[in-house]
Every structure is written in C-alpha cells, then in structure tokens.
C-alpha cells in the first residue's frame, strides 16, 4: 500500500503553476531508525494541511514526493539526484552518511534541506560545505553543553563515558552515540575516561568496562539502545555499584523510548531480573530532548499515531511522540514561512539559497512550542532531566536545560532520588581517592621525609628570594641603562632645525640639537631633538640639571624603564648623566606627534585609521597600568607618537622626577602652563600637590580628551559647551585658564553634541570623563568596546589599509621631495667647489662630466719645492698634536698667500710644500715670475710666523725652484690626484734639498726666464753638486726691483737694492686663524684665512739681501 501511494504521488505533474514541491527522503524500514517514512509522513502531511488551512501560502498547492533512502550513502544521494529537478525543498534525510552528500549537492543546486537529523559536529560548517542545510533539532554540541551544565550543577568534574559504536570493519561507520559523546568529551575538557563496545559485546564485556571505568570515575555517562542500557545497569548492580550509592549513571536517550512507562521492565525476562533492573534504574538519570506536556501536543501525537496506523499500518507505543519526529511538522511550517516572506519581498520560489537564509536566525511557534533557529541554521535545543520515582517506578522530569539561556531549571516540587538510600548526592571522587592512596597511614620515615623535604623546600624558596634580591641589586648596580656621552654621536642636519649648528670649523657637541618635524611642514609643528646611539637614530630629551643624584628609587625606576618593552610604548634606550650632557634617549618615531597629525588638515584620516589609533593607545595604556610603572600621569596627544608603520606609541611615562624639572619652573600665568593641564583629571587639579606619576583613573580621563581630539581634529577642547556659567563681560569663548578652572570646579567637559561619530563612541567619552573616578572604566574594558566599534574593519586586508593611508600622504611627500631636491642641488654645488679646490678647475670639470682626463705635455713650467730645516728634530721635541697644529697653522697661512698668484698647489707631504705655475692653463713665460713672487711672499711671511708651542723659535723655510718641461695628468679612480711627471720635478726637488734655510735656490733655467722680465735681483751661488745631475751653476733669488712710473707715461726701471725688510704688518700668530678641521694641507677658501693677516701679493716689493 505504501509503495502504491508513493508511485501515485510521484506520477503527479511536477511543473504545474503555483505548485510547491517537497521531497521526503527517509528510510522506509522502521527497523533502521525511528525516523522512518511511516512515522515522518503523517507529520509532514499534517504540516502541509496546516499551511493550506492557515493560508500561509495563498494561491499555491504543496505536493509531496517520497523516496526510500535505506540509510544508504548510495541510495539516498541517487534519490536526491533523481528528484532535484522536480523539487523545491528536501525534507530529510535523517542518516548522517546520507545527509552529507545530499546537502553538498543541494548547496550546488540551491535547494533547501530541512532535517531533524545531521546532528554531527561536521554539519556546522555551512558556508564551506552545507550552505542550504537547516537542522530543526540542532547539533550534538548542544548535548555537550547540556551535560556540562548538569554536571556543574552537581559539582561533578570527573566523569567516565561508555557508549556503543559499530565495529572497526563495519560499513555503517561511527554510531550516533560516538558522535554524541564526542561532544560531551570535548565539552568536559577531553579529560574523561571513555570506552566503547560494539554490537557483539557480552555481559562479561560490560563487566570489564565498568571495572575499568570505576578505577577513575564515579559518574558514568552511558549511550546505547534501551535494552543495552538495561544490561549494563544489571551488571553494575551485580558489582554492588547500585547498593553502595556511590555511583550515578546518566543515559542519553533522545527519542523518549519507554521513558514514561517502565524501561527497566522486559516482559520476556524473569521476575528476578526485572526486580534487579528496577533497583539498578534508581541510580540512572536520563537526558532526553524536551517534550511538551501540553494538551495540544498530546492531541497532535494521537493524530499522527492514528494516521500512521490507518495509512501506513504502523503502530506506536503508548508514550508521546519524540520531538525528533514532530520536528518534521515544524520543518514544513518553517519552510512555508520562509517561502512566503521570500515571495512577498519579490523573490523567486526557486531561489533556495535566499529561502534558506530566511529560515536562519529566527524564532517561530511550532507544534513543540517556541522554536529558536540560530544564525547558523541550527535549532537551539532544550533537554529534560528525568529520574525514576521509586514509588511508581516510572521516570519523571525533574529539571529542564534551557538552551537559549544555557541554564538548568528545576521543576517545582520535584527532587532526585539517589540510589542506595542516600539522601545527598554522591561525590565524583572517593574521599580516599580511587586508589585509596589519600587515606594511607604514613610511617615515621615518611613523616621525617616530608618534614625534611618541607625544610628543604622552605630553604630553597628562601634562597630563591635571597638570590632574586641580590640579583636585583646587582642589576641595579650594573646600570645597564647608562649611556656615556661619547656613545652619542651627532646626526646630520635636518630641515626644520630649531637650533643652528655650530659654525663650521668649530668643535661639535655631543649630541645634535637638530630637530625633525612631521611630513616636512614646519609651520605650527612640534620638534624632537635627535642623535645617533649605537647606529640607531634616537630621540633626545634633555635634562636641565647640572647634577643628578643617583639614589636607589631612581636607579630602580631606571632599570624598570630599561626592561619595559611593548609594541605601543616608546622604547627607553637609556640615560646619559654626564654633565653638561644629561639627557634621556628614547625610540625615534619619524611620523611625529599625534597632535601634529590631528591638526594637519592635509592628512586625511578615515574612521578605520582613527579607531586603530585609539586601539593602539588603549593597548599601550593597558600594558602600562599592569607594569611596575602603574600609571602615566602626563597622557596627552603630544605624548603620543606615530612610527614609520603608522603604529601609535606612548612616550613621556616614568622617571617623572627627572622629566618635571623644566616644567616645574614654568610661570603659572604662561600659556604653556595652562595648556598642559587641559588633559588633567579634575580630582588631580584640586590637589595642592598632585602625584607626579598621576593615577590610573586620571589616565582614563586624559584618554577621553584625546579621543575627543581624534574625533574633532581641532585640538583639545575644540568643541565647548554653551557657556551658561560664563562671567559677565567675558568672551563666549573660554581660554585655557577658564577651562581648567571650569573642570576643577566641576561639571565642565567638552561637548559631544554635533560631533561626527557613533553614539557608542560619544557614550564612551562621557563614561571616561565621569566626575567620580570610580565610575570610569579601565583600559581592558575600553579595549573590548573599541574592538566592538571597529569590528567591521578588523578583518579587512591590512595591506589595502596601508596603501590607502600611503595615498593620503602623497601630497605631503611631493612637497618634501621638492625641498630635498633643492637641498641636493645645494650640496652638489658645495661638492663641486670642494673638488675644484682638490683638482684644477678644468680637470675637475671633465671629471664631473664623466670624461676621462688625458695626460698632457707642457713645454715650460716652473715648479716650487720647500721644506722646513730641522723639522725632524722639532717634531721629535714636540707632541704629535703640536706638530699637527704647527703644520695646520703654517699651511693655512701659505694657502691664503698663494691664492693671489697664478699658481696651482700640487700637494703637501709632511713639511714639504709643492707648487707649480704654467699648468694646466698655460701662461707663456709668466710662470717663472709667478713662482718667484710667490716664493718671496712666502719667505717674508715665514719670518713673521710664530710657532704656537715654541714662540721664541724661528721657522726656517728652504725653497727651491726650477723651470722646464713636464707631463701632468690625473692618477687613480678612488681619490684621484693630479700628478706631475718628468725630470723637471726631480730637478726642482734637488734645488730645494741643496738649498739653505731662509733662501730661495734658483736653477739657471729659471734665472734665464726671470732675466727676461728685468725686475728680479739674483746672486750667483756657484757650482753645486746635484745628485744625478752633476755640477750645476745655481743662484739665490734676493728680491724684485720696484717699478717707478714717470710723468711722461714712459715706464723706466730704477734699480735700487733694498735690505731685507718685509712691509709693515702685524705679527702672524696661529691663534688669529681659525682651526681648520680637515686633512692636512687641504686647500681652503679665502674666507677661512686670517682676516688680520696682510696677504703678500705680487705687487709687494721684496728684496732678500741680508740672507745672502
């Protein structure tokens, strides 16, 4: 008859307009499961009839199609494949291994699947695998939650689990009890003793299981069919586990089988075993799905039983229907409600995905009462706790587990009867322990052992405390935080420096007072001094003290600051206590102060970034409040920094006795004095001597003011309330002192009216600046609130967020690039000028253009060599620094003189000085005259030169010069040098080495050229033996004749030999020339020469007579 009805219904037209097609796929054989076609179909039919009679789907008829799944993972999915083009929703399947593939396919077909089965945990992953699955009887997880609450209610923590499972080689897979107790095992912390048995288990197997579990648990949870549970309890009674009253058994029976009758009674068993079973069941508590006891539910149960008997020849027992059966009635009703809402909103009947989502996260009234479906499409299930009444020997409900509340509610006047005649509940652990070890009497040696062990432990603990104390003292004494002045090096000059650097050539200070501003915009921005410490750029906070007294509290605080590390706290590198360079070194954050960012209108801050700043600030303060520092005391937007990764970091905490030295000297009438108090809590303002370190509740108040700044971006207290307390004649705008007084007197706060932010954020600000400190939340609470407000952005791609922020700063970076380009061009010009001093200008220009410099031959040049007579002995008698100062002073003087002549200084090596004229730019025969005049000028200058460390000694300069051809070119790629080659160079060197002190030795070739000018006075020296040259006739250059112009305009030469007498000039002293901080004999600009020293020029008439 059933198969005939199925065939007739399947033959009906499936595509009629206004037709809703439901396909029921469940097993037909009641022996497989209680949720079979003869049981389910009456519930579905009654549900369809209710929908039709209530007009829930006007204009639509519902057609029901049935298929037998046989609980087979093959037959069930094939039935779904056959019907999926002819159905709008699947009712069922009920077996897990059928639900899994059918639900996966339905997700692709977008067909809703509504079932009272599928309670395994894996079916909770809706979005990934089962997007259209709705479970109207919830999940096994709810059973785990219910058992946890029930056991906690009795204060039972140690539990054993015994359950039925199919064999390892069974094609059925794991049983429902396996999946069910797996959730209980997980909910109990995966610490319970658990054992399973298969279909072939015997009473002897049950005995072994109980003996094994009894060694570690008194509370035993059992999951099996009713007859198996009865056999297990009979074995427990045989083991005296019932009469002792020390054991409690829980049975999880979801289908209410024989619960309202006498499950212990089996008519085919003996009377004796039935009596034993009756006694055993006194130790059993049963957990079952909650079944309504209303009259309407009883009527519905009777009607289902009647239809099942009449149409499908199936007979129910006397107990009410399980909610696992009647849930299919609720499934039809739930689908009809969701379909109706979808159609009313303009949706399509075939859009199963939309219909499924309308079934989720809702509450409706079904035959079982109020049905709650959570946001994951699973019913929030209630359960009942039943106990056997010893008088009637029937199970009665004593308590209900309310799933939506997660609590256990007892039935009025109901109580639990404990086995073995106990009046109180048993303990989950025996008084002496499971192995009786807790009650053993201790022998004397054991007591002695314990006493000695205790003494050892006490000594060890005491030693640990002593060691810890001395270790702490050693760490304090080691002063790992200390930074020495020589470890802090100067950082290069930054644009936006608040202090000019020391003049070039003077000695540098220990740390740079250069300051960096945010985003290159200097107007209205704050600055931070920076320096380099161990290769890292650090921020420098100067301590305005001439001396710091290191007492233990300060040393301890410095150590704690050094040990404090957090992502949102500025790292403390150390402190320098070397006067006058006392300072604190902290982490440098290149983006600058939060106050700068907020007040810079060019920087766009979206709400995600603002919440991120607030969250960073909260995390930093929460960590600070739980550290040894305890509180900040000076929290404001100007003590919050932003690093290169846009992470907010808090600074200016701790070491308040050092930091407040400068601030304590501020005038009470100054602008800065009142402005810094805008973030201070009212209770601190009222104190005459508030604590320097502040309070934690005061920090929360300061945080609220900063949040207001972040929201308004107009500075602190930008949005003031209406000045109802404004004094007469005053401006409606408060000044800083009035604001502080208003806060101090109570009541004045920034206005949150009209600001653009969420109401929750406004409420948070108002809570944080409550007048009573105890009413303000702590930072852990604030962290949860901000995370909730920013929940939509927490899962966003952080890379996209960072890229968005980088785009916001693009405009500022363009301006910065322009400024840096101008700086680069200026530095390039300076480098070129320096290169022109190192190399001839024509040669340097070729190198700058990347051209190669080809060596060039010059037919006639004059080369000058000089050295200092007795320099070796002078160096031996002087300190190295004195020798350096001597050469630096001498060559600074020489360099200032040779600038007045057409010559090029080739190099200096020790006391040797080499100059050439006639190259790289040829000057005819004038090179000899230029060198001669320069030599006379240098000789005159040397005679008035004073040696700084030996002022009474005369510096004896020896000069030689020679004229001839040479080759010149650039040698080397790194540090290229312009070098001269040829015999002329050697001859000039021989002229110098064979000369005499304070005389100018001239070769005959140079004399020949000088004679062409007719102005130079030379004296024959005679023949001199030259190394490698033989004998050579040489001359002394004495001076140059003075040229006198007549009235007729004709130039006549009047020769008059003058005695050696340099022109009047102040004596040359090294102190009158600035120290030259460079490599020795490096050319310098004329501005660096002694301004008081009169340079000897080519027009200065000099004769060298007396020296001959």
DSSP 501-534: PPPTTSPPPSS---EE-GGG--TT---EEEEEET
Look-up: residue for tokens 């120290």?
1075
pLDDT of residue 803: 63
| Mean pLDDT, range 599-622, rounded to an integer | 86
Question: What is the rounded end-to-end Cα distance, in angstroms, of the chain?
Answer: 150
pLDDT of residue 548: 83
pLDDT of residue 666: 58
User: pLDDT tens digit string along 1005-1025?
Assistant: 999 999 998 899 999 988 888
In this structure, of 161-175, 222-236, 362-376, 696-710, the range with the lowest mean pLDDT score is 161-175
CA-based diameter of the chain, in Å? 165
- The residue ranking higher by pLDDT, 854 or 104, is 104
Instruction: Provide the b/e sequence for 497-528 (b: ≥16 CB within 10 Å).
Output: beeeeeeeeeeebbbbbbbbbbbbbeeebebb
pLDDT of residue 85: 94
Confidence band, pLDDT 50/70/90 cuts, at residue 450:
confident
pLDDT of residue 209: 93
Residue 1010's φ and ψ, nearest 5 degrees, are -65, -30
Instruction: Provide the b/e sequence for 298-318 (b: ≥16 CB within 10 Å).
Output: eebbeebbebbeeebebebee
CA distance 992 to 912: 10
| Mean pLDDT, range 948-969, rounded to an integer | 90
pLDDT of residue 392: 86
User: pLDDT tens digit string along 858-892?
Assistant: 999 999 999 988 888 888 888 889 888 888 888 88
Q: Is the pLDDT of residue 361 over 90?
A: yes
830: buried, middle or exposed (CB in 10 Å: 19+, 13-18, 0-12)? Answer: exposed
pLDDT of residue 793: 60
pLDDT of residue 684: 92
| Mean pLDDT, range 739-750, rounded to an integer | 87
Confidence band, pLDDT 50/70/90 cuts, at residue 498:
very low
Highest mean pLDDT among 460-474, 917-931, 1071-1085: 917-931
pLDDT of residue 696: 93
User: pLDDT tens digit string along 5-34?
Assistant: 444 444 443 445 589 999 999 999 888 888
CA distance 535 to 92: 71
189: buried, middle or exposed (CB in 10 Å: 19+, 13-18, 0-12)? Answer: exposed
CA distance 103 to 131: 8
pLDDT of residue 168: 67
User: pLDDT tens digit string along 168-217?
Assistant: 666 677 888 888 888 888 888 877 788 999 888 999 999 999 999 998 99
pLDDT of residue 953: 85
User: pLDDT tens digit string along 384-410?
Assistant: 999 998 888 888 999 999 999 999 999
pLDDT of residue 1069: 37
Which residues, in sequence order, are bridge partners of residue 641? 593, 649
| Mean pLDDT, range 141-166, rounded to an integer | 92
Confidence band, pLDDT 50/70/90 cuts, at residue 1078:
very low
| Count of CB atoms situated within 10 Å of the CB of 147 | 24
User: pLDDT tens digit string along 763-791?
Assistant: 999 999 999 999 999 999 999 888 888 77
Q: Is the pLDDT of residue 546 over 80?
A: no
* 8 Å CB contact between 113 and 90: yes
- Report which DSSP code applies to 639: G
Confidence band, pLDDT 50/70/90 cuts, at residue 426:
very high
What is the percent of the chain where pLDDT is above 90? 40
- What is this structure's pTM? 0.43
* 8 Å CB contact between 31 and 40: no
Distance of alpha carbon 80 from its chain centroid, rounded?
A: 51
pLDDT of residue 882: 87
Confidence band, pLDDT 50/70/90 cuts, at residue 259:
low
| Mean pLDDT, range 341-368, rounded to an integer | 93
Residues 6+ apart with CB under 8 A from 349: 20, 88, 339, 342, 343
User: pLDDT tens digit string along 307-334?
Assistant: 999 999 988 877 778 888 899 999 999 9
* 8 Å CB contact between 335 and 359: yes
| Count of CB atoms situated within 10 Å of the CB of 256 | 24
Q: Is the pLDDT of residue 908 over 70?
A: yes
Q: What does pLDDT average to over the chain?
A: 81
């Amino acid at each position: 008859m059933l198969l005939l009805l199925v065939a007739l219904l399947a033959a009906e037209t499936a595509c009629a307009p206004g037709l809703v097609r439901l396909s029921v796929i469940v097993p037909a054989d009641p022996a497989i499961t209680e949720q079979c076609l003869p049981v389910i179909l009456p519930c579905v039919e009654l549900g369809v009839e209710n929908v039709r009679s209530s007009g829930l789907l006007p204009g639509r008829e519902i057609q029901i199609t049935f298929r037998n799944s046989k609980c087979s993972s093959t037959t069930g999915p094939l039935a779904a494949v056959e019907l999926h083009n002819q159905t709008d929703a699947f009712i069922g399947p009920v077996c897990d291994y059928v639900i899994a593939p059918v639900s996966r396919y339905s997700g692709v077909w977008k067909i809703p699947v509504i079932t009272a089965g599928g309670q395994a945990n894996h079916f909770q992953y809706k979005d990934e695998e089962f997007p259209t699955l709705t479970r109207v009887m919830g999940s096994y997880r709810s059973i785990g939650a219910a058992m946890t609450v029930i056991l906690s209610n009795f204060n039972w923590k140690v539990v054993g689990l015994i359950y039925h499972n199919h064999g390892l080689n069974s094609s059925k897979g794991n049983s429902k009890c396996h999946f069910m107790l797996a959730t209980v095992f997980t909910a109990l912390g995966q610490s319970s003793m658990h054992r399973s048995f298969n279909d072939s288990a015997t009473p002897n197997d049950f005995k072994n299981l109980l003996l094994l579990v009894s060694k570690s648990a008194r509370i035993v949870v059992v999951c099996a069919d009713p007859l198996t549970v009865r056999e297990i309890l009979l074995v427990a009674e045989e083991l005296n586990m019932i009469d002792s009253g020390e054991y409690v058994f829980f049975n999880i029976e979801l289908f209410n089988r024989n619960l309202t009758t006498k499950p212990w009674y089996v008519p085919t068993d003996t009377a004796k075993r039935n009596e034993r079973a009756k006694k055993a069941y006194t130790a059993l508590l049963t957990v079952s799905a909650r079944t309504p006891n209303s009259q309407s539910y009883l009527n519905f149960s009777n009607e289902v039983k009647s239809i099942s008997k009449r149409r499908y020849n199936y007979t129910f027992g006397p107990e009410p229907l399980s909610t696992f059966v009647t849930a299919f009635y609720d499934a039809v009703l739930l689908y009809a409600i969701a379909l109706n809402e979808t159609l009313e909103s303009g949706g399509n009947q075939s859009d199963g995905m939309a219909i499924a989502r309308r079934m989720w996260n809702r509450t409706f009234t079904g035959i079982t009462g109020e049905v709650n479906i959570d946001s994951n499409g699973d019913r929030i299930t209630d359960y009942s706790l039943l106990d056997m009444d010893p008088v009637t020997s029937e199970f009665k409900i004593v308590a209900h587990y309310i799933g939506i509340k997660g609590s256990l509610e007892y039935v009025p006047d109901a109580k639990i009867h404990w086995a073995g005649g106990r009046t109180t509940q048993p303990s989950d652990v025996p008084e002496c322990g499971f192995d009786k070890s807790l009650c053993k009497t201790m022998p004397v040696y054991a007591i002695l052992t314990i006493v000695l062990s205790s003494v050892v432990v006490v000594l060890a603990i005491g030693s640990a405390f002593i060691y810890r104390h001395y270790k702490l003292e050693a760490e304090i004494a080691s002063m790992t935080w200390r930074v020495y002045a020589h470890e802090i090096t100067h950082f290069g000059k930054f644009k936006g420096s608040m202090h000019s650097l020391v003049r070039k050539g003077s000695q540098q200070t220990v740390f740079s007072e250069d300051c960096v501003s945010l985003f290159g915009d200097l107007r209205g921005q704050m600055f931070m001094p920076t320096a380099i410490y161990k290769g890292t750029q650090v921020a420098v906070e100067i301590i305005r003290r001439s001396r710091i007294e290191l007492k233990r509290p300060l040393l301890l605080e410095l150590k704690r600051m050094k040990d404090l590390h957090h992502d949102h706290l500025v790292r403390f590198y150390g402190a320098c206590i070397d006067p006058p360079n006392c300072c604190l070194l902290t982490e440098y954050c290149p983006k600058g102060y939060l106050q700068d960012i907020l007040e810079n209108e060019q920087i766009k801050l979206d709400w995600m970034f603002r919440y991120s700043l607030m969250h960073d600030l909260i995390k930093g303060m929460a960590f600070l409040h739980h550290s040894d520092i305890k509180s900040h005391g000076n929290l404001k937007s100007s003590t919050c920094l932003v690093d290169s990764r846009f992470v907010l970091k808090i600074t200016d905490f701790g070491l308040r006795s050092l930091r407040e030295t400068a601030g304590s000297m501020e005038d009470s009438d100054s602008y800065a004095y009142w402005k810094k108090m805008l973030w201070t809590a009212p209770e601190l303002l009222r104190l005459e001597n508030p604590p320097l370190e502040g309070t934690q509740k005061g920090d929360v108040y300061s945080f609220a003011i900063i949040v207001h700044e972040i929201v308004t971006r107009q500075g602190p207290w930008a949005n003031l309330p209406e000045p109802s307390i404004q004094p007469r004649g005053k401006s409606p705008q408060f000044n800083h002192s009035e604001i502080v007084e208003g806060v101090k007197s109570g009541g004045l706060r920034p206005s949150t009216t009209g600001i653009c932010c969420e109401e929750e954020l406004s409420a948070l600000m108002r809570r944080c600046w409550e007048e009573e400190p105890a009413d303000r939340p702590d930072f852990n609470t604030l962290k949860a609130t901000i995370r909730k407000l920013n929940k939509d952005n927490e899962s966003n791609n952080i890379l996209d967020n960072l890229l968005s922020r980088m785009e916001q700063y693009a405009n500022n970076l363009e301006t910065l690039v322009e400024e840096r380009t101008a700086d680069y061009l200026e530095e390039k010009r300076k480098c070129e000028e320096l290169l022109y001093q190192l190399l001839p200008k024509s040669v340097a220009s070729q190198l700058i253009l990347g051209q190669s410099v080809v060596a060039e031959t010059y037919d006639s040049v004059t080369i000058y060599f000089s050295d200092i007579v007795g320099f070796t002995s002078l160096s031996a008698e002087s300190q190295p620094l004195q020798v350096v100062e001597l050469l630096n002073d001498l060559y600074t003087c020489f360099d200032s003189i040779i600038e007045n002549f057409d010559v090029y200084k080739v190099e200096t090596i020790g006391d040797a000085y080499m100059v050439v004229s006639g190259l790289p730019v040829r000057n005819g025969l004038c090179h000899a005259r230029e060198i001669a005049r320069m030599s006379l000028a240098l000789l005159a200058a040397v005679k008035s030169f004073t040696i700084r460390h030996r002022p009474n000694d005369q510096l004896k300069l020896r000069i030689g010069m020679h004229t001839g051809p040479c080759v010149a070119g650039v040698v080397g790629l790194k540090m290229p040098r312009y070098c001269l080659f040829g015999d002329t160079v050697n001859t000039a060197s021989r002229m110098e080495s064979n000369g005499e002190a304070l005389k100018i030795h001239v070769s005959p070739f140079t004399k020949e050229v000088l004679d062409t000018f007719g102005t130079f006075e030379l004296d024959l020296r005679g023949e001199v033996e030259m190394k490698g040259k033989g004998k050579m006739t040489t001359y002394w250059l004495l001076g140059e004749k003075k040229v006198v112009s007549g009235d007729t305009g004709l130039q006549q030469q009047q020769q008059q030999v003058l005695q050696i007498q340099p022109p009047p000039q102040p004596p040359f002293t090294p102190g009158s020339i600035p120290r030259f901080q460079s490599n020795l004999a490096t050319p310098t600009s004329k501005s660096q020469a002694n301004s008081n020293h009169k340079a000897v020029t080519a027009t200065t008439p000099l004769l060298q007579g007396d020296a001959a």
